[in-house]
Chains A and B, each alone.
Chain A
C-alpha cells in the first residue's frame, strides 16, 4: 500500500477532513470565508468576493 493511499484511507476513516465541507469560520484580520451561494432573487451564484473593491457591512440573519 503506498503512503498516499494510507493518507486517503486515514482521512476517509476519521470523517473530519480538511476542506470546503468543514464549516467556514469568520475571523477578524482574515479574508471572509469563500462561499458561492444562490442569490435569493434569481438563484444566480453570488459570493462576498464578487464585491471586492467595496467596503461591506454583511448581515447574517433570519426573518424568524
Chain B
C-alpha cells in the first residue's frame, strides 16, 4: 500500500489522481495508525462487514472519472508507469450509468420491510444498516437482526461473518457482555466452515488463534509505528483496543510445554469459592473445535462485578490461573498470572491467554479442563477484602 502511495505522490499533489482506501478490519483505527505511519493521507472507508465481498486483500483497482472500473488486481511492480498512463488516458462517458445516491439507508424503513416480508434478504439489509449506522448503543438490535436473517437462511455464510463482527464490536464497547467474544468466534467459524476459501474470514479467526496456525504476527508493527510517529513530533492515532496476546504473538512451529506438574497453588480446594459474585469470568477457545494433534488458543477474561462493587486488591498477591492438563494434552503455560497495577485498588478487566494442544489420538467429543483462578478482591468501598477461588471449567471440543 505505501508502494502505491509513493509511486503516485506527484500525480496526487498535482490533483490528477485521487487515492482511496477501503479497510477490511475489525478495528479500523489500526489501519488509520498504519496510514499515519506511512504518510498515506487519503480518504478511508470502513467495510468491516466485507460488503464489498472480496475474499482476499490487498486488491488494487483503477476507476475512471465516470466511475467505471478500468483495471483490477494491479501489481505494484509497474505502479508509477501504470498511474501515468491511466491519468493521461481519456475515457468516454458511458451511456446509462446513473449517479447512485450517496445517502444512508433509513433504518426504520428497513426494519419495517424486514418485519413485513420476513425475508432473509430484508433482515440482512436491516442488520447491515444497524451495524454500520446504528451506533454502539444499537448493536444488540443488530445482533438480533442478523439472527433473524440466519433463522430464515441458516447457511448464509456472510451473515454469520456479519453476526461475528457485530458480537465482537459489542464486546469492545461499553455495553460488552463477557460471552460476546465467544459468540463472535463461533459465528466466524461457522462462516469459514461454509466458505473455507475466504481469506479475510480465515484471518479474522487466526488473529485470535494459536501460534501454530499463524502465518505471521498480525500487529507487531504497532510499536515501531508509534515510535516513528512520535519521532516526527506527531501524536499517534489512538486505538480503541490495544493489540495483545494472540494479535502480537509470532507464529510458532514447535509447541513448547512447561515441565511444571503439580496440583497447582490450591490442589485440595481449600480456598473459599467465589461463585462469580465478585468476579465474572468468560472463556473463549479459538478455534472452538480442534482436530487431534492441533492447537487452540484459550482467552480467559476476568471482570470485577459492578453489582457487588468489587475491585482488585492490588496490595495483596497477583491473580493466578492454574490449568490442569489431562493425560496426553499439552499447554504452553500451566500457571498464568496478571501483575497488579501500582494503585492500591482497581477494577479493570484482566485477560490471560494460553495455548492448548490435543493429543494425536484424541477421541472426538467434548473435553473439560478443570482450571481455577485465585484472586484478591475487595467488596465495596469499606467492605471486606477477600482471597477467593473460582473454578473455571474449560470446555474444548475435539472434532475432525
Q: Smallest CB–CB gap between A20 and chain B, Å?
A: 6
**Hey, which chain B residues are within 8 Å of A41, CB to CB?**
32, 44
Please judge, given known A-B contacts A55-B63, A59-B21, A59-B60, whether A46 and B1 are in contact too, CB under 8 Å. no
Q: Smallest CB–CB gap between A61 and chain B, Å?
A: 4
A8 at the interface (CB under 8 A from B): yes
Interface SS of A by simple majority = loop
Q: Are A63 and B8 in contact (CB under 8 A)?
A: no
Q: Are A28 and B72 in contact (CB under 8 A)?
A: yes
Q: Are A61 and B57 in contact (CB under 8 A)?
A: yes
Please judge, given known A-B contacts A11-B121, A15-B153, whether A61 and B65 are in contact too, CB under 8 Å. no
Task: From the candidates B53, B104, B105, B155, name the one contacting A23 in the complex (CB within 8 A).
Answer: B53
**Hey, which chain B residues are within 8 Å of A47, CB to CB?**
45, 100, 102
Q: Are B99 and A59 in contact (CB under 8 A)?
A: no
Count of chain A residues near B, Cβ 8 A: 49
**Hey, which chain A residues are within 8 Å of B68, CB to CB?**
29-32
Q: Are A57 and B200 in contact (CB under 8 A)?
A: no
Q: Are A57 and B65 in contact (CB under 8 A)?
A: no
Task: From the candidates B57, B65, B120, name the one contacting A53 in the complex (CB within 8 A).
Answer: B65
Interface SS of B by simple majority = mixed
A and B contact pairs by CB, cutoff 8 A, 26 listed: A16-B153, A20-B125, A21-B121, A26-B54, A35-B51, A36-B104, A39-B44, A40-B31, A47-B102, A49-B99, A50-B102, A52-B66, A55-B65, A56-B18, A56-B62, A56-B63, A57-B83, A57-B86, A58-B60, A59-B19, A59-B22, A60-B47, A61-B1, A61-B22, A61-B59, A64-B218
Q: Are A17 and B119 in contact (CB under 8 A)?
A: yes
Please judge, given known A-B contacts A21-B121, A35-B47, A38-B133, whether A62 and B203 are in contact too, CB under 8 Å. yes
B276 at the interface (CB under 8 A from A): no
Task: From the candidates A15, A19, A35, A57, name the one contacting B20 in the complex (CB within 8 A).
Answer: A57
Q: Mark B125-158, 1 if CB is under 8 A from A, else 0.
A: 1001000110000000000000000001101101
